[in-house]
Amino acid sequence: MYIESGFEYLRIRITGCYRRLIGRLRLVKVNRELLVFFVFLCVAIIFWFLQTFKEGMNIGIDYNVNIYNVPKNVIFTSPVPETIKVNISGRGFAILEYLSKRRNKTIRVDFSELSSAKGYISISSAVWRNLLAKEFDESVRFVSTTPSSVDIYYSTGKKKRVSVIFDGQIRTGQQHLLCGVELTPDSVDVYASINHYDSITAAYTERGIFSGLEDTLHTRLALKTINGVKYVPDSVDANICVNLFTEKTLSLPIYCENIPQNKILRTFPLSANVTFHVSAAMFDLVSENDFALVVDYNSIRPGDEKCRLQMRSKPEGVTNLRIYPETVEYIIEQVEE
């Protein structure tokens, strides 16, 4: 069982019994037999407590953890436990005596004795036992700790700046279009142990799933935690921009690429239509100059009667793009030198 103080435990048990008895006494007429019963009951309770605390028992005590001798350039990159539960055993009265003397229970951990070149300190059950060796005498015995061991990662101040990447899934409502995700800040400082430092190239947000969005959403996203890695800051503000979309059609000229110097490629027709979805806010901003519709000479095989059109570039925010016609007729002319 786990108690904070032996005397506090006794007080709570006795007070509870007393209150239950008083409540019952109020419901019946007080007489001599009832008083005798009450006296014997109190004596029985006292003997029960005496017998209980004469026997062996196991309890858990919360100790504060204090790590000292930490260099100024050391930054912990994993959580440092504030407390640890120490499980001890012994006779009840010996444990009560120990608890009455140890009001402020703290385990002091010397960082300089446990630090390693690998960038972490490992406090095993054996280390906890050694740190607590002077705490207990023969009547009180150390059993274990919960957790049994703790690994604490740290960095010696080395840091770098990495970009933040949104990780998640976004679905918009009908007739709405995702215009983009803005993260603020878009990059963070990362501190990591030697084992992780070189492998960290970006910081990813915790995976978020958003469905049925019909308006821009402002939210805060925590960065995905990695043991031994610390991000500053550890969260970012996200603007998930959503807008109504509309359909737009443009007529684009067809350009030819990768044509040998002694040849000319002509297409029929010379232009094609593209239809796409774009947000209402961008409708008037998107023009023919934002697209590049081409025919690649290298993609034409001998005997092909038509060549396929390819979209080399398009503006951001344009989706569901269709080309009509998808293929066009062509001729290749030889240029005389």
Taking residues 83-95, report their average pLDDT.
Answer: 74
Q: Taking the C-alpha atoms of 117, 122, 128 and 133 in order, what is their torsion angle to the nearest 10 degrees? A: -20
Burial class (CB in 10 A: 0-12, 13-18, 19+), 132: middle
What tens digit of pLDDT does each residue of 143-185 get?
788 888 888 888 887 789 999 999 989 888 888 878 789 999 9
Return the pLDDT at 45. 73
Distance of alpha carbon 189 from the chain centroid: 16
Taking residues 309-315, report their average pLDDT.
Answer: 93
Residue 1 has pLDDT above 60, yes or no: no
Q: Which amino acid is at 204?
A: Y
Neighbours of 123 (CB within 10 A): 22
Separation CA 132–CA 150 (nearest Å): 16
Return the pLDDT at 265. 87
pTM over 0.95: no
Does residue 61 or residue 233 have the better pLDDT? 233
The reply to whether omega before 325 is within 30° of 0 (cis) is yes
Q: Where are the beta strands (DSSP E) in 2-128?
A: 56-68, 75-76, 83-91, 106-110, 120-123
Smallest CA-to-CA distance from 113 within 98, 130, 101 is with: 130
Separation CA 209–CA 184 (nearest Å): 19
